[in-house]
Structure 1
Amino acid sequence: MTTFLQFHLLTVYGPSNPNRDDQGRPKQAMVGGAPRLRLSSQSVKRALRESAFFALDLAGHQGVRTKRLCGELTDRLVASGADVAAARGAAEKVAGIFGKLEAPDKKAPEKVVATTLAFISPDEWRLAEDLAARILAGEDLPKDKDLKSLVLRKADGAVDIAMFGRMLADDADFNREAAVQVGHAITTHRAQAEEDWYSAVDDLNKAEDTGAGHLGEHAFGSGVYYQYVCVNVDLLVKNLGGDAELAAKGLEALARALAIATPTGKQNSHAHHPRAAYIRAERGRQAPRDLTGAFFAPVTDQPWATRSVAALEEMAAMMDRAYGPAWDDEAVLDVVRGLGSLDEIAAFAAASAPTA
């Protein structure tokens, strides 16, 4: 049976706009007929990947998402002494393994990029460089699918690819199913974006014109957000080629990042650096379940954070009574009640990985 690790977090954001829509306003959602502010799962996953916990604790085990593999390979080959045209030809052949390339821009024919982003692991990047060098050296190499197998991997040490998956449109054999599911975070109460205007003064024009040198407007919001994350631990280990020790490091980094990392939209304007006020981590072999239903009826009473914790725990208890517990072990951090610590949550998450 599969082991699942689930996280339920409540985080308080002051006035901020961490995740913007196409008009620059905070993203929103209707839940239970009430307007809420929302953080998209994509923005949360990006924040996790960019966090210090991933960058430092998982150094050497993170993938790169890019359209620019061809240009990067070309530059590295040229830096090693290769002819520019020959280097570009070899790089294009290798980059084509990860997806189709765009037609060269007539104004900048040297800039060759892919039509879609490719999520490339460190192992695959090294193999791509090696293959490009072999092509440049004129080696007799296999074609098409056999050539792809020299670079693409179904499992390796890229923790973020193992967690969040990838899709290669041109070769589904090397897709990786995400081991970590991240829900959209929503406010537990009614919340809507507010509009604000701002001005800037021309420092060299104080005497002649006392008005503003620039006027603008932007939107922001605030609230208590519920975030749900579910980890298929067995799939994570499989995606990492069976490396349970690396999976444990990844789970620890994930737990720490979930508590602190945040999308950074308009951060310089609002200085939002929240930390989770409540974390409930659950581990077990039962089918997972989220607790969004706790907030379909918006929290209305103050203090919202405390009431949100109560609503979440009440929903968990009701679901467990009806279906049986969805976990075998749990760990809780509650800032208000003084329960638990992030170190305990991180250790609990790491212990979810199988031991030898």
Structure 2
Amino acid sequence: MTIFVQLHWLTAYPPANLNRDDTGRPKTARFGNVDRLRVSSQALKRAWRTSDAFRSALHGHLGERTQRLGEEIERHLVGQGIAADAALRAARAVGDVFGKIKPETDRKPARIEQLVFVSAEERAAALALAERIAAGGEVDLSRTPLLKPVDGAVDIGMFGRMLADDPDFNREAAVQVAHAVTTHRAIVEDDYYTAVDDLKTPAEDAGAGFVGEAGFGAGTFYLYLCIDRDLLVRNLGGDEALARRGLAALVQAAATVGPRGKQASFASRAYASYGLVERGEEAPRSLAAAFLKPVGGEDVLQDSVARLRATRDQFARAYGSDAETAEMDVPAGQGTLAGLIALAAR
């Protein structure tokens, strides 16, 4: 049977604009027939995989999502003394393995058309192969493996990748991340702000040098993650120890790292106030139903924790549950992040 690790978080954010829509305002969702603030799973995953928590714990085992692999190869070859035209030819040939390369007439002829996740092992192999090509070696790219179906890139193993031209090297995501939504009704408010010219003299008009408007919102967000632990191990080539390191880094990041949107304006950094880890073989499920009726009252966080616990217990009574659990309730002084990590990464 598959082992699933489920993470549930409640995090209170002060006024913020963590994740903007196409108009620059905070993203929203309608849930339980009321408007909520929302943070997309894409924004959350990027914040986590580029965080210090990931980089320090998983150094050498992280990939990069980029269109610029060919340009990196070209710079590497030129730095080794290869002629510019030979370096470009080799970079285009190798870059085209990872995605459709831009036309030679393009302003960036070594750039790939699509964003692609590249592991550290694939990057090293690409640089080595480009050196052989640039040196005049005979290389049949169709018979020279560069892409790998599994390797040690933890973030690719967790969040997956899709290669439209090479589906054999796609990786199914072992970690599913829901969009975070507030447990209560929330609205987007407008901040009218001005900037004054410091060099303006008293004899001039008293008006501002700039006037603007920015959207923001505040609230307690519920976030759910589901991890297929067995798939993560398979994506990492069976490396159990690396999978455990990855799970520990993910729990650490999900509890302490959020999207960095508009931080200079809002300083909206927050740790999770409540966390629940469930580990077991039963079919996973979100606990978002706890908040279909928006939480009200003065203590939104405490009431949200109570709703989450009650809904979990109700599901357990109705369906049965043998899952192991660990909790961290910061306001109540119960549990620790280390305890959550210990269960999730076991």
TM range (shorter): over 0.9
Q: 1:70 to 1:143 in 2, by over 3 A?
A: closer
Instruction: Supply the distance in 2 between the matched residues of 1:49 and 1:323 (Cα, whole angstroms).
Output: 34
Cα deviation 1:170-213 (Å, max 9, x = unaligned): 10000000000000000000001001111001011142232100
Secondary structure of the residue aligned to 2:123 is: helix
1:231 matched to 2:227? The reply is yes
Corresponding residue of 1:51? 51
Q: How many angstroms does 1:102 deviate by? A: 2.1
Aligned residues: 345
Partner in structure 2 of residue 126 of structure 1:
124
Partner residue, 1:36: 36
Q: Which amino acid aligns with 2:185?
A: R
Q: Percent identity?
A: 49
Q: For residue 300 of structure 1, report the CA deviation from its aligned partner.
A: 1.3
Question: Where does structure 2 lack aligned partners over 5 or more consecutive residues?
Answer: none
Q: Are 1:99 and 2:99 an aligned pair? A: yes
| Corresponding residue to 1:281 among 274, 277, 296 | 277
Deviation of 1:120 after TM superposition, in Å, equals 0.2
The CA deviation at 1:103 is: 2.4
Determine the C-alpha separation between the residues in 2 that align with 1:245 and 1:68.
31
Task: Please give the root-mean-square deviation of Cα atoms over the aligned residues, in Å.
Answer: 1.1
Secondary structure at the aligned position of 1:236 is classed as helix
State the match for 2:306 in structure 1. 310
Per the TM alignment, residue 115 of structure 1 is displaced from its structure 2 partner at its CA by 1.2
- Does the residue aligned with 1:151 lie in a helix, a strand or coil? coil
* Residue type of the alignment partner of 1:140: E
Distance in 1 separating the partners of 2:159 and 2:41: 11
Is 1:296–2:292 an aligned residue pair?
yes
Aligned mate of 1:173, from 151, 168, 175: 168
Q: Deviations over 1:45-100 (max 9, x none)?
A: 01111211101111111101100111110000010110110011011010000110
Query: Which residue in the other structure is 1:192 paired with?
Result: 187
Q: Secondary structure at the match of 1:276?
A: coil
Q: Deviations over 1:192-237 (max 9, x none)?
A: 1001111001011142232100001100000000000010000101
Secondary structure, aligned partner of 1:77 = helix
- Counterpart residue identity of residue 171, structure 1: D
Shift of 1:111: 4.6
Instruction: Find the counterpart in structure 2 of residue 62 from structure 1.
Output: 62
2:252 is equivalent to residue 259 of structure 1: no
How far, CA to CA, are the matches of 1:24 and 1:320 in structure 2?
41
Distance (Å, rounded) in 1 between the aligned partners of 2:219 and 2:226: 23
Give 3-state SS (helix, strand or coil) of 2:15's partner. Answer: strand
Tell me the amino acid that sits aligned with residue 30 of structure 1. R
Q: Secondary structure at 1:317's aligned position in 2?
A: helix
What's 2:315 paired with?
A: 319
Using structure 2 for the length normalisation, give the TM-score.
0.98
CA distance in 1, matches of 2:298, 2:277: 25
CA distance in 1, matches of 2:248, 2:238: 17
Alignment of 1:12-27 (within 5 A): 12-27=12-27
Match in the other structure for 1:221:
217
Cα deviation, residue 349, structure 1: 1.7
Once the 2 structures are TM-superposed, how far is the Cα of residue 104 of structure 1 from its aligned partner?
4.3
Distance 2:121 2:221 in 1: 37
The CA distance in 2 between the partners of 1:104 and 1:189, in whole Å, is 53
- Does the 8 Å CA contact 2:102/2:109 hold for their aligned counterparts? no
Distance (Å, rounded) in 1 between the aligned partners of 2:344 and 2:311 = 23
The letter for the 2-side match of 1:87 is: A
Q: Does 1:155 align with 2:153?
A: no
CA distance in 1 between partners of 2:187 and 2:114 (Å): 34
Secondary structure (helix, strand or coil) at the match of 1:7 reads strand
Query: Aligned partners of 1:140 and 1:120: how far apart in 2?
Result: 24
Question: Aligned partners of 1:10 and 1:244: how far apart in 2?
Answer: 29
SS at match of 1:209: coil
Given the alignment, which residue of 199, 204, 214 partners 2:199?
A: 204
Counterparts of 1:8 and 1:177, CA distance in 2: 22
Runs of 4 or more, structure 1, over 4 Å off, are: none
**Structure 1, gaps ≥5 residues long:** 352-356
Distance in 2 of aligned mates of 1:220 and 1:272: 11
Offset at residue 105 of structure 1 (A): 5.3
**Inter-partner Cα distance in structure 2 for 1:21 and 1:104:** 35
Partner secondary structure for residue 13 of structure 2? strand
Report the Cα offset of residue 241 of structure 1. Answer: 0.6
Q: Secondary structure at the match of 1:205?
A: coil
Question: Equivalent residue of 1:163, what SS?
Answer: helix
